[in-house]
Chain A
Amino acid sequence: MIRSIRRFSVEVAAVLASVLIFWIPLYFVFVNAMKDKRGASLQSMAWPASNHLWSNIREVIQARNHMLIHAFVNSAMLTLFSIALLLLVCAMAGFVMQRRSDRVTPWISFFVLAGLIIPPAIVPTIWVLKNLHLFKTMLGLIMVEVALAFPFGVLLYRGFMGAIPREIDEASVVDGCGGFRLFFQIIFPLLKPVNATIIVTSSVAIFNDFTNPLYFFPGSKNATVQLTLYNFMSQFVSQYNLLYTNILLITLPPLVLFIFFNKKIVAGITAGAVKG
């Protein structure tokens, strides 16, 4: 009896602590996004007297010639194409890296593992992109995202590939499959769980990425949503309601993803961390 009361009170305390530590910042952003300029400047937790959320949203979207809409399109494109390319490139590389073993493979593994630890060399990357005429272009940024996410992705595929029996390969080759047909028609469909993991975890990471767009996709015309928030920070310095509305809008996509794919995201992160 005493034990269960104690356990119950610990649980209540934990829930209260979670409200205090994790919900209040979120609530604060939400409540202030509903206020007008003067109400938000007070920075209080009070519920707003009247709801200005819709007019705030309209104002944020219309700011600087609807920049936020362009930014959302850019971010969506960046996330979509990066992930498509990432999946293809990592799956193909992981396939060969797991199946082959000769003198070259340890070197390949070494360079891939190094990519998990080494910070990217920024200015030389800009120089390379400039010479390829890819600097400040969407394609260039996509390449950067893929290159930086590659080591993690390929390790996941390599790990999963180990669980796919070689007998499948043998049977297909005996039946006259070439390497590419074997991979695209037989192996790739078996990789669905890893594909799903990478899609979910990388889409959050790439959509939320701030540093790489800041360096490789500068300029106010073509920005991603994270960059618009950063640019608005100085513009909205006296208009907290708009700043919070902007934060709210760009937090929505990951939130939706979280609600639907919570388990998948967690599974992906633990798989990557334990293997890596």
Chain B
Amino acid sequence: MNKVWKRTYTYYFLLPAAIIYLIIFILPTFMSFFFGMTRWTLQDWTYIGLENFKTFFQESSLNIGFKNTFIYAVVTCGLKVVFGLLLGVFLTSKIRTKNYLRSVVFFPTLVSTIAVGIAFSTLMHPTEGLINTTLASLGISGPDWLGDTRIALLSVAFVDVWKGVGFATVIYIAGIMSIPEEYYEALQIDGGNSWHKFWNIILPLSRPATNAVIILAFIGGLRSFDILWPMTRGGPGFATDVIASIIYKQYQAGFYGLATAGNVILFLFVSVLAFPLSLYLNRREVDL
């Protein structure tokens, strides 16, 4: 590149972005590796080695976060892929209420997460909530959705899917619409039915959409905090505590070193799971 272009595309353009991004995001990320190994009051710190990490792995109120985070991410991601795909196929077929249905499915994506969380936690109230009173009038006694340790995490995951499925659907709609018409024509000549259309054309050729949904939903699920916190605050007990909510609890309790160690663990957790996943998915992508 010659001198004129170097001067024209000067790195001064990057300066404002670099200042903000480096100071507010990159610097704290690097610092977290150090402060995760300290006892920290924000004013001063004592180096304690890997003590915080040991605590995190040994104490059952903390290490339950790994299991819950993983379950939560897998469940929400899986359901979003399945429902997103089905809705995507349905909403690209020849139906008259297409625009209405697309809007309705997408709308919850734009509602504030905390409002959704609060509204659903009253709907899921064991005795007074609308869900259980409706079930009771049908003669079914509904479970304590958010109070039962066995299903609380799944209840929250369900609300997450309710709110997020519109996002997955929109990506699938874009993916399915970009499949060239010729494939369908070829199928028609060969006499395939609508099952063949789904299984042999739409499913393999909407692969880029599937990959995008899996990656985004999975990473989002691993980092999830804002829908879970107003609904259960990690309870009952620690049954719905994920790594992100544990970080917040330790931060509130003033254990800044431990909270930072939690952040490092979340960082490693996301990297270890998300990078190989995205490599694997991208390798299997086919070109149209």
Asked if A96 and B29 make an inter-chain contact with CB atoms under 8 angstroms apart, the answer reads: no
B103 to chain A, nearest CB (A): 6
The stretch that binds A, out of B2-10, B56-64, B146-154, B181-189, is: B2-10
Known contacts A179-B10, A270-B170; is A123 also within 8 Å of B35 by CB?
yes
* Cβ-neighbour of A127 out of B31, B90, B122, B274 (below 8 A): B31
Indicate which residue in A123, A207, A230, A243 contacts B256 across the interface (CB closer than 8 Å): A123
A182 touching B114 by the CB < 8 A rule?
no
Using a CB-CB cutoff of 8 Å, which residues 1-51 of chain A contact chain B?
7, 10-11, 14-15, 18, 21-25, 28-29, 41-45
- Check A43/B118 contact, CB under 8 A, given A147-B21, A270-B171, A274-B208: no
Q: Judge if B42 is at the interface, Cβ distance under 8 Å.
A: yes
Q: Looking at the complex, which one of A89, A97, A111, A123 makes contact with B259 (CB distance below 8 Å)?
A: A123
- Name the distance in Å between B51's Cβ and chain A's nearest Cβ: 16
Classify the interface of chain B: helix, strand, loop or mixed: helix
Q: A7-B95, A230-B230 are in contact. Are A18 and B105 (CB under 8 A)?
A: yes
Known contacts: A125-B24, A273-B212. The answer to whether A29 contacts B112 by CB under 8 A is: no
Q: Are B32 and A121 in contact (CB under 8 A)?
A: yes
Which A residues from 131 to 177 make CB contacts under 8 A with B? Answer: 132, 143-144, 146-148, 150, 154, 169, 173
Task: Tell me if B238 counts as interface (CB < 8 A to partner A).
Answer: no
A247 to B90, CA, bound (A): 32
B174 within 8 A of A: yes
Tell me how far the C-beta of A127 lies from the nearest C-beta in chain B, rounded to whole angstroms: 6
Residues on A with C-beta less than 8 A from B136 are none
Size of B's binding interface in residues, CB under 8 A: 89
The answer, yes or no, to whether B125 is at the interface (CB within 8 Å) is yes
B118's partner among A14, A115, A229, A273 (CB-CB below 8 A) is: A229
**Contact present for B263 and A121 (CB under 8 Å):** yes
Select from chain B the residue with minimum beta-carbon distance to A89. Answer: B17
Tell me if B286 counts as interface (CB < 8 A to partner A): no
Contact B20–A99 (Cβ < 8 Å): no
Contacting residues, chain A, for B123 (C-beta < 8 A):
25, 28
Given contacts A121-B28, A147-B24, contact A226 B114 (CB under 8 A): yes
Which positions 245-288 of chain B face chain A at CB distance < 8 Å? Answer: 247-248, 251, 256, 259-260, 263-264, 266-267, 270-271, 274-275
Interface pair B23/A95, CB less than 8 Å apart: no
Residues of A within 8 A of B37 (CB): none
Closest Cβ of chain B: how far from A22's Cβ, in Å? 5
How many chain A residues sit at the interface, stated as a range, is 35 or more
Quick one: which of A88, A132, A270 has the most chain B CB within 10 A? Answer: A270
**B25 contacts A by Cβ under 8 Å:** yes
* Residues of chain A having any CB pair with chain B under 8 Å: 7, 10-11, 14-15, 18, 21-25, 28-29, 41-45, 85, 88-90, 92-93, 95-97, 99-102, 104, 108, 111-112, 115, 117-130, 132, 143-144, 146-148, 150, 154, 169, 173, 178-179, 182-183, 204, 207-208, 210-211, 214-215, 225-226, 229-230, 233, 240, 243-244, 247, 250-251, 254-255, 257-258, 262, 265-266, 269-270, 273-274, 276
Give 26 CB contacts A-B under 8 Å: A15-B101, A25-B120, A88-B16, A93-B13, A96-B10, A100-B5, A100-B9, A118-B29, A121-B31, A121-B267, A122-B251, A122-B263, A123-B35, A124-B27, A124-B31, A128-B27, A147-B23, A147-B24, A169-B8, A179-B10, A183-B13, A208-B110, A214-B248, A258-B110, A262-B106, A274-B171
